[in-house]
């Protein structure tokens, strides 16, 4: 890819920034354009560097990440902002999304996939941490939209069972299982079983033994 995604990292902890930088520098499609340690610096650097994506800590000195996002997006509306926070309170999530952030993920999440989240917001998608999505924090945001039966079938898919095996176990026709599988993939916007398994595990949609 000729044009790399230029990312600005904003966090008041140098160690956190260093960790994120390492994560992103392993990704050939990314370029870390700069780093800021507070909200005011984030606004100045964003206007100077004009990054594609800003990874923004919510709690910052001088000016919090939500206000910094608001000011940046007033001047650079095309910039994608991914908010990182230790807090999952509905009010904070709503404020961040209303300020224009395209994503809100928890810094302490065990399965924090920063690379994937940055790519998604850069493409214009909304990214919400699964813990937040389950709580329905974002106005109008639904959970996965899967029915209890679909979640049950998803559990079997993750366990590596074929449609025929799932049908036998749940006393359904193979055709019915196929339809459910297609509906699950459609609802999640996923087209391959391997991706479906990874997504289900990463987002806590299934119980692991």
pLDDT string in tens for the chain (209-residue length): 458 899 999 999 998 899 899 989 888 999 999 999 999 999 999 999 999 999 999 989 889 999 999 999 999 999 999 999 888 777 788 888 889 999 998 887 656 788 999 999 999 888 888 776 555 444 333 356 788 888 889 989 988 899 999 999 999 999 999 999 998 888 888 888 888 888 887 777 877 65
Comparing C-alpha atoms, which of 14, 4, 68, 20 is closest to residue 41? 68
Total domain count for the chain?
2
Question: What pLDDT score was predicted for residue 44?
Answer: 97
Whether 207 is covered by a domain: the verdict is no
Assess if residue 142 is contained within a domain. no
160: domain CATH number is: 1.10.10.10
CA gap 97, 102 in Å, rounded: 7
Q: Are residues 108 and 189 in the same domain?
A: no
Helices (H), 106-192: 114-122, 130-135, 148-158, 163-170, 174-188
Indicate whether 106 and 195 sit together in one domain: no
| Counts of helices then strands in the chain (DSSP H, E) | 10, 6
Q: Is residue 59 part of a domain?
A: yes
Whether residue 125 is contained in a domain is answered as yes
Instruction: Please report where in the chains the tokens 């026709």 appear, as a residue.
Output: 173
CATH of the domain at 130: 3.40.50.2300
Write out the residue range of the structural domain in which residue 49 sits.
5-135
Give residues with Cβ within 8 angstroms of 5, minimum separation 6: 29, 30, 31, 52, 53, 118, 119, 122
Residue where a domain stops, chosen among 135, 158, 177 = 135
pTM of the model: 0.64
Residue ending a domain, choose from 83, 112, 135: 135
Do both 85 and 45 map to the same domain? Answer: yes
SS3 56: strand
**What's the rounded Cα separation, in Å, for the pair 17 and 165?**
47
- Placement of tokens 């790519």 in the chain: 119
Question: Distance (Å, rounded) from C-alpha 22 to C-alpha 88?
Answer: 26
Residues 111 and 34 in one domain: yes
User: Rounded CA gap, 69 and 183, in Å?
Assistant: 36
- Lookup: tokens for 147: 């029915």
Residues 180 and 100 occupy one common structural domain: no
**What dihedral angle (degrees, nearest 10) is formed by the CA atoms of 199, 193, 27, 79?**
-60
């Amino acid at each position: 890819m000729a044009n790399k995604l230029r990312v600005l990292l904003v966090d008041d902890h140098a160690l956190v920034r260093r960790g994120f930088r390492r994560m992103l520098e392993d990704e050939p499609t990314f370029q870390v354009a700069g780093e800021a340690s507070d909200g005011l610096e984030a606004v100045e650097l964003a206007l100077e560097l004009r990054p594609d994506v800003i990874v923004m800590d919510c709690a910052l000195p001088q000016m919090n990440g939500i206000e910094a996002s608001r000011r940046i997006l007033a001047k650079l509306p095309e910039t994608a902002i991914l908010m990182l926070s230790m807090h999952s309170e509905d009010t904070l999530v709503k404020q961040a999304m209303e300020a224009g952030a395209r994503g809100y993920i928890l810094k302490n999440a065990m399965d924090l996939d920063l690379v994937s989240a940055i790519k998604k917001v850069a493409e214009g998608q909304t990214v919400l941490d699964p813990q937040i999505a389950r709580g329905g924090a974002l106005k109008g945001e639904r959970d996965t939209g899967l029915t209890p039966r679909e979640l049950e079938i998803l559990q079997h898919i993750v366990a590596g069972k074929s449609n025929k095996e799932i049908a036998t176990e749940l006393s359904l026709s193979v055709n019915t299982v196929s339809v459910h599988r297609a509906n699950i993939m459609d609802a999640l916007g996923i087209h391959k079983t391997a991706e479906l398994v990874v997504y289900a595990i990463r987002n806590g949609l299934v119980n692991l033994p």
